[in-house]
Structure 1
Amino acid sequence: MDLDLHRTDLAGLESAMASGRLTSARLTAFYTDRIATLDPQLGAVVAVDPTAAEQAAASDRRRAAGEPPRLLEGIPVLVKDNMSTGPQLPTTAGSTALARSRPPEATIATRLREAGAVLLGKTNLSEWSNFRSVRSSSGWSAVGGLTRNPHSPERTACGSSAGSAVAVAAALTPVAIGTETDGSIVCPAAMNGIVGMKPTLGTVSRTGIVPISAEQDTAGPMTRSVADAARVLAAIAGHDPADPVTAESAAHPVPVRPADRGLAGVRLGVFRVAEGASPETDAAFAATLEVLRGHGAVLVDPVELPGTAQAAGAELTALVTEFARDIDSYLRSPGVTGPGSLAELVDYNRRHAEVEMPHWGQELFEAALATRGDTDDEEYLAARETAITLSRRDLDAALTGHRLDAVIAPTNSPAWRVELGAGDDFVLSSSATAAVAGHPHITVPAGGAPDGDGGTLPLGVSLIGPRWADGDLLALAAAVQDALPERILPPLPPAVLPADG
């Protein structure tokens, strides 16, 4: 039976390999060939690991020898190019300044290998995770150029995990890893019609990942289904002594499979973010709510998050200082080759402006440099305290006060047309409160909007739960995904692999 790799989940791939109808070598070769064929038009993948075929062959040998398959045995995975996978490939964060930097393998990459995954390569991203300029366009980097939305190439793929989202949506990989400081997993996932999970801060190690801020950064899975996201998150989660924020993760293990649950009696608080700003989004969100209500969900409509705007302003003030502190630490860490400080990086960009800054500048870098990364500064301390206090107060008051299982909101408006240098045309975003508070946030595909050219632009619906309730949120998201129509596939060649070929 042929495998439709737009639709076959990880359990289906595992079953095909267990029965002998499929090998990791054939699966990896399929994705490698598809990347070579389609990615020149998409710009999602910056490098394929030269050892990928051997990794797959080693997985097949383990299976043939009767070794028990591990959680991701033989499954190809692409990772965002701000996390190291070891010496085979550079870790650039999209910048030519780090073009020769090959630091030690990130903890998350080690955990993927320990779970049996094939590290297939690196995905493009918004350079420096979109934290160099307020005029930047999501998905562009000096290393990888512009990542294009496979549903409409003139439109944004969102960011900063643009390449990871596009790679999954285009069936260049079954799984990708993204990172998020605020919106960088959920926005590209929604705009490309896939699932993206930002876990509770501290669930996944950040060791070996190019940072913005230790107060908000996290990695997370980007997949076709919630069930796949759960499996991947279970593989990469856990305590890392080198990352103290993960200390509590051992007490909150992520289940390999989301618990089976229906929607009857589930209480969802409806956050109507920027209602009226995007009629297409409003219509799709209303249709989603009606489906969920029809499946027995109880909608508390609306719930308010009154501190959102004030928290967002304080967030940027805090992030600028934290970036200066954390990027200096990263650039000076073992194995990192390139500028040794933010000051040297700013100078590098000035000297290589024709490559690094052809469309926009580095005013966020310069603002960060001016703070000297002083996290004892009173203005900084007040900003971080304001951002966290307001965000956690809002979410905890909504979740507890209304006895909610989750807050539900639209993830995104339809993807906008890219104009390099004009900045991102965000109409709405529901990511900030969960990002600052450290709460888990997952988006699942939820309808779409016409693109004006006969196609459809995907939209997503967000679910935000209590801190450390990632397993419960995954179970709820799986039930929501099951209730909603199938995700919108991009107009690309079919991704069909003969299982017995």
Structure 2
Amino acid sequence: MASHAHHPILPCAFLLVIICCSFGVNVSGATNFSIAEATVAELQAAFKQNILNSTTLVEYYLSQILSLNSKIRGLIEVNPDLLYLAQLADEQRKAGVPPSGTGLHGIPVLLKDNISTQDKLNTTAGSFALLGSVVPRDAGVAKKLRAAGAIILGKAALSEWAHYRSANGPNGWSARGGQVLNPYVMSADPCGSSTGSAISVATNMAAVSLGTETDGSILCPAYSNSVVGIKPTLGLTSRAGVVPISPRQDTVGPICRTVSDAAYVLDAIAGYDPYDTATSTASEFIPPGGYVQFLNASGLKGKRLGIVRNPFFNFTTATSYMTQAFQMHFQTLSQFGAILVDNLQIANISAILNSSQSGESYALSAEFKIALNNYLSGLVASPIRTLADAIAFNNNYSTLEMIPQYGQSLFLLAENSTGTSDPLYKAALANMLSLTENGFVKLMMDNNLDALITPNSGVTPMLAIGGFPGISVPAGYAPNGAPFGICFSGLQGYEPRLIEISYGFEQATKIRKPPSFLV
């Protein structure tokens, strides 16, 4: 059942009064184990050694949320059953079910607020239009997380409707969540749409989180907030029960502080789901034994990494600090055994990266209306049932939804679209396929590449239209302290080698540092 429109963080505020006074960051003075910045593997080891339990872990995150969330607005809601679920995990661990110290058992996971949960949490995509809607079942990924013994911590703030209401709304703004702020430099762009998922793990308000990406929405907030984001191959993770934009492009992936955490989360959420047909083909890409086995410190050895200077490394005077940083990163990659294949070119790259030229904008518009209407019609109860209803809601509550400021241009375009039988839609798909085959696929195959290296997330339209995976890893900080990232991307099913490469890079550089909350 959905909860009522109470204050989003209230359910836990009362509990916090009791726990915060006596709670310290260090769980055990004897071992000096600190929860802050601890990885999933370290948390599991602490569970195994009985120096930590899930209740204490959850209390730590609640204390972080209480002290930080009102400033940076990473979470929309905290699960009112959080402490109960933590106690349950502790009891299971004591009883030896499942074996102690494995996977995500007893680990709190934060979900972006467009991922359905059939519990006391709302699923609203940040919009008041969906407040009180009741979902028929857990999203496929939420179901898998629960099966792995993970604890659903709450719902993360996001760019409203995953940034598909209007082209004008700022990154990380939603009516329900307000404006999410970048914890490194509060005035810097936090990027979107999985903004809250990224800043919550960056600030240790959550252990790990899930985001969603249609075009850039995992990779961009990951690099902007100095965390790791994995945009998986299309269909590797289920999109069932996720408020959709496009089944042809939507993906769900981990946003975490480290590559190893992201691999643990990917292991838990990847795989077949009867409610998402794309998972049946993509499941064939999952390696026997999962993804954690690819956390290989010498993972860069022998990997062929492509560099396309134009347009990805055309830095402006304002971003010249990145030129220096990437020269250093290229040296590090070579030093650790990677083979750099430099000065490559991608055919028609400007058309690929321009959503109007590629046909992406046109296709998304047609797909969104159909996908959203389908999602809304499947809800058990909902204030709105169609995209037209959502548009009307926004007009009726225009102050609340900030329509005069940000509008709903993408909604209106989609509502007026003529569907997927339109010849222009078919032409857009054919164009994207041709650009993909003659562009990224050809580049990767002709040069026998394991990955393409790009700075930040300029590569996302190319990955989006082809359903390709990418991993963003912290790569440095601008002179003002704002983070930037390095992105490793590859063909469908390349996750194992991308994890090896990004883990190898992360271990060789260890760039990430906790946020400094600069103004």
Structure 2 equivalent of residue 487 of structure 1 = 512
Contact 1:190 1:443 (8 Å CA) reproduced: yes
| Residue-by-residue CA offset, 1:121-149 (whole Å, 9 max, x unaligned) | 00000001111111111000000000000
C-alpha displacement of 1:274? 5.4
Aligned to 1:229: 262
Between the aligned partners of 2:35 and 2:345, the Cα distance in structure 1 is 40
How does 1:177-216 map onto structure 2 within 5 Å?
177-216=210-249
Contact 2:188 2:482 in 1 (8 A): no
1:460 match: secondary structure: strand
Q: CA deviation at 1:482?
A: 1.1
The counterpart of 1:340, out of the listed 374, 381, 385, is: 385
Q: Secondary structure at the match of 1:257?
A: helix
CA contact (8 A) 1:315 1:387 kept: yes
Q: Is 2:303 the partner of 1:266?
A: yes
- How far the C-alpha of 1:293 sits from its partner, in A, is 2.0
Separation of aligned partners in 2, 1:18 and 1:366: 54
Residue 180 (structure 2) aligned to one of 135, 147, 152: 147
Separation in 1, partners of 2:497, 2:32: 34
Residue 498 (structure 1) aligns with:
none
Q: Indicate the residue corresponding to 2:496 in structure 1.
A: 471
Alignment of 1:187-336 (within 5 A): 187-253=220-286, 254-260=290-296, 261-272=298-309, 273=312, 275-277=314-316, 278-311=319-352, 312-313=355-356, 314-336=359-381
Question: Cα deviation per residue 1:301-338 (whole Å; 9 max; x = unaligned)?
Answer: 12222333323321111111111111111111132512
What does residue 393 of structure 1 align with? 438
Whole-Å separation in 2 of the counterparts to 1:86 and 1:308? 43
CA distance in structure 1 between the aligned counterparts of 2:181 and 2:517, rounded to whole angstroms? 13
Aligned pairs for 1:30-49 within 5 A:
30-49=60-79
**Residue 72 of structure 1, aligned match among 98, 104, 120:** 104
User: Secondary structure of 1:160's partner?
Assistant: coil
Q: Does 1:459 align with 2:484?
A: yes
Distance 1:139-1:336 versus aligned 2 partners, 3 A rule: farther
Structure 2 partner of 1:94: 126
Q: Which deviates the most, 190-199 or 481-490?
A: 481-490
1 CA distance for matches of 2:362 and 2:151?
Answer: 39
Q: Specify the SS of the correspondent of 2:300.
A: coil
CA distance in 2, matches of 1:17, 1:410: 37
Q: How far apart, CA to CA, are the structure 2 residues paired with 1:492 and 1:58?
A: 35
Q: Secondary structure at the match of 1:156?
A: coil
Of 346, 360, 364, 2:406 maps to 360
Instruction: Pick which of 128-137 and 204-213 moved more.
Output: 128-137
The question of whether the paired residues in 2 share the 8 Å contact of 1:84 and 1:105 is answered with: yes
Q: What do residues 156-197 of structure 1 show as CA deviations (whole Å, max 9, x unaligned)?
A: 210000000000100111100000000000000000001000
**Pair 1:208–1:443, CA change in 2 (3 A):** same
Q: What TM-score results when the alignment is normalised by the length of structure 1?
A: 0.91
Contact 1:84 1:102 in 2 (8 A): no
Q: Letter of the aligned partner of 1:363 in structure 2? A: S
Q: Which whole-Å CA distance do the structure 2 matches of 1:144 and 1:397 have between them? A: 42
For 2:420, the aligned partner's letter is T
Q: 1:2 aligns with which of 32, 45, 49?
A: 32
Tell me if the contact between 2:197 and 2:209 (Cα under 8 Å) persists in the aligned partners: yes
RCO higher in structure (CA 8 A, sep ≥6): 1
Q: Deviations over 1:410-467 (max 9, x none)?
A: 015xxxxxxxxxxxxxxxx22111111111100001111111xxxx111100001121
Q: Which amino acid aligns with 2:305?
A: L
Instruction: Check the 8 A contact 2:37/2:204 in 1, yes or no.
Output: no
Name the structure 1 match of 2:144.
Answer: 111
What is the rounded CA distance, in whole Å, between the counterparts of 1:17 and 1:6 in structure 2? 15
Q: 1:227–1:257: 8 Å Cα contact kept in structure 2?
A: no
1:172 aligns with 2:205: yes
Structure 2 residue identity aligned to 1:165:
A
Residues 300 and 500, structure 2, Cα contact 8 Å, conserved in 1:
no
Identity of aligned residues (%): 38
TM-aligned CA distance change 1:266 to 1:63, over 3 Å: same
Tell me the matched-pair count. 472
Match in the other structure for 2:92: 62
Q: Could you tell me whether the CA contact under 8 Å between 1:7 and 1:224 is conserved in 2?
A: yes
Match of 2:18 in 1: none
Find the aligned partners of 1:388 and 1:42 in 2 and give their Cα distance: 40
Instruction: Flag the 1:263–1:472 CA change in 2: closer, same or farther, 3 A.
Output: closer
Task: Write the distance in 2 (CA, Å) between the matches of 1:143 and 1:329.
Answer: 23
**Which residue is 1:419 aligned to?**
none
**C-alpha distance in 1, partners of 2:516/2:36?**
12
Q: Is the 8 A contact 1:166 1:192 kept in 2?
A: yes
What residue number does 1:14 align with? 44
Moved more, 348-357 or 296-305: 296-305
Tell me which residue corresponds to 2:14.
none
Displacement of 1:215: 0.3
C-alpha separation in 2, matches of 1:34 and 1:91: 23
Contact 1:199 1:218 in 2 (8 A): yes
Is the 2:299–2:503 contact (alpha carbons within 8 Å) kept by the matching residues of 1?
Answer: no
Aligned to 2:471: 442
Q: Hey, what does 1:410 align to over in structure 2?
A: 455
Q: Distance in 2 between matches of 1:230 and 1:393?
A: 31
Tell whether 2:459 aligns with 1:430: yes
CA distance in 2: counterparts of 1:180 and 1:100, whole angstroms: 25
Q: Give me the whole-angstrom Cα distance separating, in 1, the residues matched to 2:282 and 2:172.
A: 31
Mark the runs of 5 or more structure 1 residues left unpaired by the alignment. Answer: 413-428, 494-501
Contact 1:447–1:485 (8 Å) recurs in 2:
no
- Kindly indicate whether the alpha-carbon contact (under 8 Å) linking 1:308 and 1:391 is maintained by their aligned counterparts in 2: no
Cα offsets for 1:322-379 (capped at 9, x unmatched): 111111111111325121111111111111111112521011111111114x101010
Tell me by how many angstroms 1:281 deviates: 2.9
Q: Is the 8 A contact 1:458 1:488 kept in 2?
A: no
In structure 2, do the counterparts of structure 1 residues 5 and 284 end up closer, same or farther at CA, with 3 Å as the change threshold? farther
TM norm structure 2:
0.88
Moved more, 286-295 or 45-54: 286-295
- C-alpha change, 1:393 and 1:134, in structure 2 (3 Å) is same
Secondary structure of the equivalent of 1:179?
A: strand
Q: Structure 2 CA distance, aligned partners of 1:197 and 1:129?
A: 17
Asked if the contact 1:237–1:249 (Cα under 8 Å) also holds between the matched residues in 2, the reply is no
Of residues 463-472 and 300-309 in structure 1, the stretch that sits farther from structure 2 once superposed is 300-309
8 Å CA contact 1:76–1:118 kept in 2: the answer is: yes
Alignment partner of 1:355: what SS? coil
Distance 2:124 2:381 in 1: 10
Cα gap change, 1:307 to 1:335, in 2 (>3 Å): farther
User: 5+ unaligned residues in a row in structure 2: which ranges?
Assistant: 1-30
